[in-house]
Amino acid sequence: MKKKRTVKLCSAVLAVFLMTGMLAGCGDTQEDSDTLNFSVGLKEDGTMDGISPADYVTPVGYDAIEVPDAEIAVSDEDLQSQIDSILQNYAETSQITDRAVADGDTVNIDYVGRIDGVEFENGSTQGQGTSVTIGTTQYIDDFIDQLVGHMPGETFDVNVTFPEDYGDEAVNGKDAVFETTINYIEESTLPELTDEFVAENLQESEGYTSVEDMRTKIREDQYEMNKQQYLYEYILDNSEFKELPSDFVDEQLTLQMRYVETQLQSTGASLDEYLEQMGYENEDELKESFRGSIEELVRYYLVCQSIFEEQQMEITDEDRQAFFDNEDISQYTEYYGEGYVNRLVMDNMVMEFLSEHASVTA
């Protein structure tokens, strides 16, 4: 789903949806849509099937929430960070070969790992090269730190010791030697931010017409997102929950587990391998690790649906088209189902309602 000028859902809500992998596009394969029912527990109109929110939650006085301006203001640093993030998409990358690797560099390397002189499985880049960043990328032991000071084109040994609990009996606790070659240092140069650059690269996709227009709109969008974030937390913290619909929670937990399994299958990994790597004793322990986020999602569903129904809102085709920026909605309904698509639109309508009726205080 491409980025839109209109703010869609607050960041905390997006975090929940992204955690479940359900708002990151239309998936990788048709097989996913055949095995995953993203609309489980939802009717086609997006409401929870067989669940009356009034049985579970009493919303707060939501029609005039006061939002402190100081808590949602956008700092100059935050604004610049977002601009730099956009410019990074247009950065030019150079391959530097005439100086030694320093802390903070991004370096392209190849390596072959050996234990007692014998290569081990998954211990080589197979000549494909991989990029790591000194001080950021995490490898075993002090592998990355040992790259500092070496020159591109140089081949040398990196000596490390695998942790005892690495998760692979073939290497647990063992010393290894990685024959490593520095291919080059990567340096990115951001383009100069000018009115001409904005018009050429960002006007059609983002609607920015100049540098000043870009700064204004990004600040406005972030301000609105911060506001919705505040409102999101406010309605969850202050609404009175009696309990949660346990069957619906379990359905969402099962869906999350099925999503994890399909993503692992697409990479050729097994669930057992993933559990061992991540330190989970069994599948149930992994499932329980998702419970907090899933329960937060269900509480949000309950509050939003309660407000939606109390305000007698209705989802129109225009609402759906606006949410999806006039894209072909069928690609989303075919993959996620009518229920999930309408749920997204419903929750967004409620957040926009809360934002419109909230008052910002000094």
**What is the structure's pLDDT at 9?**
46
Residue 252 pLDDT > 70, yes or no?
A: yes
Residue 213 pLDDT > 80, yes or no?
A: yes
Give residue 163's Cα distance to chain centre.
Answer: 29
Average pLDDT of 174-181? Answer: 96
The alpha carbon dihedral of 32, 34, 35, 39 has a sign of positive
Q: Can you tell me whether residue 291 is helix, strand or coil?
A: helix
Q: Of 254, 236, 255, nearest to 244 (Cα)?
A: 236
What does the alpha-carbon distance between residue 66 and residue 230 come to, in Å, rounded to a whole number?
10
CA distances from 69 to 62, 72, 318, 354, 358 (A): 18, 5, 32, 16, 11
Class of domain 92-189 (CATH, top level): alpha beta
pLDDT above 90 coverage of the chain, percent: 77
**What is the structure's pLDDT at 34?**
59
Could you read off the pLDDT of 6-63 as tens digits, one per residue? 444 443 444 444 344 444 444 444 555 557 899 999 999 999 999 999 999 999 889 8
Give residue 146's Cα distance to chain centre.
Answer: 31
Tokens of 221: 């969008």
Q: Average pLDDT, whole number, for the chain?
A: 89
What does the alpha-carbon distance between residue 9 and residue 16 come to, in Å, rounded to a whole number?
11
Residue 5 pLDDT > 90, yes or no?
A: no
Residue with tokens 């993933």: 274
Q: Radius of gyration (Cα) for the chain, nearest Å?
A: 25
Q: Confidence class of residue 360 from pLDDT cuts 50, 70 and 90?
A: very high
pTM over 0.85: no
Higher pLDDT, 245 or 33: 245
Could you read off the pLDDT of 76-95 as tens digits, one per residue? 999 999 999 999 999 999 99
Q: Indicate the domain borders of the chain.
A: 11-85+198-361, 92-189
